Amino acid sequence: MQIGFIGLGKMGHPMARRLIEAGHTLVVFDTRGDATAPLVALGAQLASSPRDVADRVETVMASLPEPHIVASVATGDSGVINGKRIKRFVDLSTTGSRAAADIAAQLAKKDIAQIDSPVSGGVAGAVKGTLAVMVSGPQADIDVVKDALGVFGTVFVIGNQPGMAQTMKLANNFLSATAMAATSEAVVMGVKAGLDPAIMIDVINAGSGRNTASTGKFPNAILPRTFDAGFATALMLKDVRLCLAEAKAAGVPTDMMGMVASLWERVASEIGADKDFTTIIQPVERRAGVIVGKV
């Protein structure tokens, strides 16, 4: 099918490439020319704005960093809302349920359906097509895009109300953020006591402490000290803040979320929001006076 794709960053680029490889025809836009060039080389057509994308195709996907950017791409003056052909906007970004519902309501005034489709599984999952793809929105539009979304991984239809898939995604990322925070403190404690962090990770992964940080981020990016998982601290902090706000608005307990959020705030202020999120271990190491992994 013909698909517009806006936002060709760490996640958008491999997802757009998989769509082309699966035989779809793409119209692409990104504010960075160096982001669109590799897709154009693979046969994608280049558009000059989100509106231009939406002038050319019925289905527009977006993978953008922050909720306010998604809002401007969707409903700004040169946003997809003013496109001539668009029928549905598929948002692959993590924005939280309130932002998704706001955008859905504005697009609905122009008879454009919004499908929330946040993804989980990281850059590696986007490259391999093994993401968890969470979807909510009008069923008829989900039916139109389900096969194309299947190129990214396993599609889970969460519900038909706008924002439901976003709530699912925030719950998932809170757990991922918590695994990173808790595993960092556990491993730093062991290293300070003289334990070998590689043996610790092997034991945790053979035992009941196993989690996504211990199986993925620690062996691949923290122990080798490459800090290159491909997800910025700014984006994880955004997700944790959104989750905390959503949980507070829902009136549910947030004890764990509050503690985890405060550690991510510290990572952003002490290490840098632009750094990879695997640098979460560094403020813990600083306070403990030890380094985990190779130096």
Contact of 8 with 36, CB cutoff 8 Å: yes
Q: Which stretch binds ligand NAD (CB under 6 A): 27-35, 80-88, 103-111, 146-154?
A: 27-35
Stretch that binds ligand NAD, among 16-24, 26-34, 152-160, 258-266 (CB under 6 A): 26-34
Tell which residue, 143, 25, 6, 175, has the closest CA to residue 76. Answer: 6
Residue that has been written with the tokens 């005034």 in this structure: 109
Please report, as residue ranges, which positions from 211 to 240 form the binding site for ligand NAD (by CB under 6 A): 230-231, 235
Q: Residues 3-22: x/- map of binding to ligand NAD (CB under 6 A)? A: ---xxxxxxx----------
**In whole angstroms, what is the distance from residue 282 CA to residue 55 CA?**
47
Residues involved in catalysis: 169
Chain positions 132 to 191 lying near ligand NAD, rule: CB under 6 A, are none
Quick one: which segment of 25-33, 78-86, 97-105, 203-211 binds ligand NAD (CB under 6 A)? 25-33
54 part of the interface to ligand NAD, by CB under 6 A: no
Rg (CA), the chain: 20
- Which position among 31, 48, 154, 262 is part of the footprint of ligand NAD (CB under 6 A)? 31
CB of 72 to ligand NAD, least distance (A): 6
> Residue 295 burial (CB < 10 Å; 0-12/13-18/19+)?
exposed
Taking the complex as a whole, the smallest distance from the CB of residue 217 to ligand NAD amounts, in Å, to 11
Residue ranges in contact with ligand NAD by CB under 6 A = 6-12, 29-32, 35, 63-65, 69, 73, 93-94, 119-120, 122-123, 230-231, 235
